Structure 1
Amino acid sequence: MNVTQATKLVAAREIRVKLRDRTFLFSTVFFLLMAAAATILPPMLSGGPASVAVVEAAAGPLREAGLEVRTVPDDRAAEQAVRDGEVDAAVVSGPAVLAMDEAPDDVVAALSTQPAVRLLDPDAVDPVLAFLVPFAFAFIFFVTSQTFGVQIAQSIIEEKQTRIVEILVAAVPVRALLAGKMLAGTVLALGQIALVAVVAVVGARFAGSDGLLSLLGPAIGWFLPFFLLGFVLVAAMWAAAGALVNRQEDITGVSMPVQLVVMLPFFAVIFFNDNAAVMRVLSYLPFSSPTAMPLRLFTGDAAGWEPLVALGLLLVAAVAFVVAGARVYEGSLLRTNGRTSVRTAWRSRETIG
């Protein structure tokens, strides 16, 4: 049996086992519901402006409609109040309604005739979406890479602990064993994310959010290849961590570096998503680019060439970590006499399979 055939055999077995796992099925349903909520709820929850600036002579119909009216001396002051964020909309001579990023339907309806609506900042991202989208990207990558990564490590530890690995390496090349596990995890994780992307697109169409769909489309499209390479990078680290120990209870100690390099970018993207300079840096770092770059594409802050460069850097990093992880894996897989250090595994890799 050659390496390719063995890899497919191992991957097929791992996929069959995972598809029967209730935890995997539950997480998939959870992500699908989250994607649907993120695209359907914002349009449903978004309401009209709570306040409007207008000169006193035109304030009557707005007050009768129950809107919060702020009187200003002239149209110029009304427009400035909108730009400063003091009110949500303004009614000026024409008549015309001014708003920053969304037409205020309740203000328009309160006037006797429907005036022209001029958006002062038509390309602005809705504040609700500005929070939900970065959180969704970061959360999905973080949870998925952690969940599948831990499962790869636990599978390796279980085989070492039960000494099944000694039987496996006699029939299957070591590299094929590692490649099969990583391939299965990657296929399942990418399939899960692809389903999430489909649900997000369908949810946006269902909600009638064509503008939202045009914004999310490029971000989702880029998120898939970034997620793929980012997951491979993290999976290689989890596989190496799992091979270093022989008991499930020891995985916490060796996996701490892996968890940190996934957790820190997650919180960085969440807390600094409105900081253009920090997000620019994060979008090029391999561990944070899978979420930071799609987010910058969503907000329109990234030039067309930037995702290509970031994806190239991530590809180089993923290949390097796979090579390094495979070496540590091979050097520690058959060591069943306790925890193996990375240095020992690196130096004493055995030529098996």
Structure 2
Amino acid sequence: MKNSSLTWLVAEREISSKLRSKAFLISTGILLLIALAGVLIGGFSSKSPTPDAVAATSQTAQIVKALPNVKVTEVADRAEAEKVVKSGDVVAAVLPADDPTGVVILAKDQAPQSLVMGLSKAPHVEILEPASTNPLVRYLVAIGFGVVFLMAASTFGSTIAQSVVEEKQTRVVELLISAIPTRVLLAGKVLGNTILAMAQIILLAAIAVVGLIVTGQNEVLAGIGAPVLWFAVFFLFGFILLASLYSGAAAMVSRQEDIGSTTMPLMMLVMAPYILVIVFNDNPLVMTILSYIPFSAPVAMPVRLFVGEAQWWEPLLSLVILLVSCVGAILVGAKIYENSLLRMGSRVKLREALRG
């Protein structure tokens, strides 16, 4: 068989084994439910509260309409205004008056503080650097991209590592490489898990779209479309980079309990984007630097695209850097994997695995 056919054969084996695993299916379902709940909660919490009904005459209607979160009910005179206020149809009424403020507020039993504050005289404010997006929405988007990257990369990375060590422990790998070249076996493992990881990303994107539509966040949906596509592209190559390194690191040990010692540095590289992007999501300089580092670019660059801080050429340059890093990781991971796979017993040192 050709190497391409053998690669697909190994990939199909990886995919079918995961789809038969109840633990994998349950964890995937929980992840999707958490994502949907997060989008819905974020959407409902970011919505404006129900507008307050306020009565106003033709003379004061324009003043009241300029206030935020207010619905104006026009009345003819003071008598009608008192009637709707006493009946509870409106929270208050704003009428013209002969005093410095020019208006008087009629309330039923207590003064509506938000209305009083809104009508108070205040100096004109000029914003020199207006925020391009709502800080809460920006924070939620950063968390969303970070959590998806962290969960998918760590979950599938650990799965690949466990699969490699299990095959070494049971000596199945000796039978496999007698029929399949070592690098083809590695390529199949990476391909199969990449397909599963991308399927999860597509499902999460679909759930996010549904959640945004349900919560009426059409503006966010329109603005997040391109960043989500870029995230999928960056995630694809970022995951291949990590999967190659996870496979190589796992091949250096022969027992499941030793996996943590070799994959811990990779786990830190997976967690770094989540932590740094969340902490520095509102720091343009740090976010710019993170968007060019291969391990954090899949999260940082889409966030910058969403808030409009990245130029059109920046994601292209960042993607080129990621692709070069991906090729380097594949070569290093394949060499370690090939030189360590048949070495049983104690942990293989990194220098020995690279030297062969």
2:270 is aligned to 262
**One of 168, 174, 186 as aligned partner of 2:182:** 174
Question: Structure 2 CA distance, aligned partners of 1:262 and 1:215?
Answer: 26
1:238 counterpart = 2:246:
yes
Within the alignment, does 1:12 sit opposite 2:12 as a pair? yes
What SS does the aligned partner of 1:70 have?
helix
1:49 Cα offset (Å): 9.6
How far off is 1:136 after superposition?
1.0
Secondary structure of residue in 2 paired with 1:60: strand
Partner of residue 60 from structure 1, selected from 83, 95, 105: 105
Does the 8 A contact of 2:165 with 2:253 survive in 1?
yes
For 1:300, the equivalent position in structure 2 comes to 308
Of 133, 141, 144, the match for 1:136? 144
Q: Does 1:70 align with 2:117?
A: yes
CA contact 1:215–1:298 (8 Å) conserved in 2 = yes
CA 1:240/1:300 → structure 2, altered by over 3 Å: closer, same or farther? same
Shift of 1:255: 1.1
Structural mapping, 1:1-353, within 5 Å: 1-45=1-45, 46-48=47-49, 56-58=101-103, 60=105, 67=114, 69-70=116-117, 74=121, 77=123, 79-80=124-125, 124-348=132-356
Q: Which range is displaced more, 280-289 or 54-63?
A: 54-63
The answer to whether the 8 Å contact 2:141/2:303 transfers is: yes
Q: Structure 1: state its 5+ residue gaps.
A: 85-119, 349-353
Unaligned runs of 5+ in 2: 53-66, 69-93, 95-99
1 CA distance for matches of 2:302 and 2:211?
Answer: 19
Deviation of 1:34 (Å): 3.2
Contact kept in structure 2, 1:157 and 1:242, CA below 8 Å: yes
Displacement of 1:208 after TM fit? 2.1
C-alpha change, 1:237 and 1:42, in structure 2 (3 Å) is same
Once residues 66 and 72 of structure 1 are traced to their aligned partners in structure 2, the CA distance between those partners, rounded to angstroms, is 10
* CA drift at 1:177: 0.8
Q: State the AA in 2 paired with 1:6.
A: L
329-338 or 38-47: which moved more?
A: 38-47
Q: TM-score, structure 2 length as denominator?
A: 0.80
Q: Which amino acid aligns with 1:70?
A: M
Q: Quick one: structure 1 residues 308 and 346, their matched pair in 2 at CA, closer, same or farther if it must change by over 3 Å?
A: same
Would you say the 8 A contact 2:201–2:232 is kept in 1? Answer: yes
In structure 1, the residue corresponding to 2:116 is in which secondary structure?
strand
Q: Secondary structure at the match of 2:117?
A: strand
Local SS of the residue matching 2:292: coil
Post-superposition Cα deviations, 1:321-352, rounded to whole Å, max 9, x if no partner, equal 0111000000000001321111111112xxxx
- Could you tell me which amino acid in structure 2 is paired with residue 132 of structure 1? L
Q: Do the aligned partners of 2:153 and 2:242 also contact (CA within 8 Å) in 1?
A: yes
Inter-partner Cα distance in structure 2 for 1:5 and 1:229: 22
C-alpha distance after superposition, 1:155-182 (max 9, x if no partner):
0000101111111110111111101110
Identity of aligned residues (%): 42
Which structure 1 residue ranges, 4+ long, deviate > 4 Å from structure 2?
49-56, 61-66
Which amino acid in 1 is paired with 2:333?
A: G
Q: Deviations over 1:127-151 (max 9, x none)?
A: 3312211011011101110110011
Per-residue deviation at 1:209?
Answer: 1.5
How many residues of Structure 1 are paired with residues of Structure 2 in the alignment?
Answer: 309
Change over 3 Å in CA distance of 1:50–1:159 after alignment to 2? same
Q: CA distance change for structure 1 residues 61 and 244 in 2, over 3 Å: closer, same or farther?
A: farther
Q: Do the aligned partners of 2:132 and 2:308 also contact (CA within 8 Å) in 1? A: no
CA distance in 2, matches of 1:124, 1:241: 42
Greater mean alpha carbon deviation, residues 46-55 or residues 199-208: 46-55
Q: 1:97-130: CA deviations, max 9, x gaps? A: xxxxxxxxxxxxxxxxxxxxxxx96x74223312
What RMSD over aligned residues (CA atoms) do the two structures have, in Å?
Answer: 2.7
Taking structure 1 as reference, are residues 277 and 262 closer, same or farther at Cα in structure 2, changes over 3 Å only? same
For 1:331 and 1:210, the matched residues in 2 are separated by: 53
**Superposed displacement of residue 285, structure 1:** 0.4
* Letter aligned with residue 69 of structure 1: V
For the residues of structure 1 that align with 2:334 and 2:250, how far apart are their CA atoms? 12
| Closer/same/farther in 2, CA of residues 254 and 71 from structure 1, 3 Å limit | closer
Amino acid at match of 1:47: S
CA distance in 2, matches of 1:59, 1:252: 70
Name the CA distance, whole Å, in 2 between partners of 1:71 and 1:291. 40
Q: Report the CA distance shift for 1:258/1:72 in structure 2 as closer, same or farther (over 3 A).
A: same
Output the CA distance in 2 between the equivalents of 1:59 and 1:174.
Answer: 84
Residue 124 and residue 162 in structure 1: after superposition, are their counterparts in 2 closer, same or farther (change >3 A)? same
What is the letter of the counterpart of residue 280 of structure 2? F
Mapped partners of 1:220, 1:199: distance in 2:
12
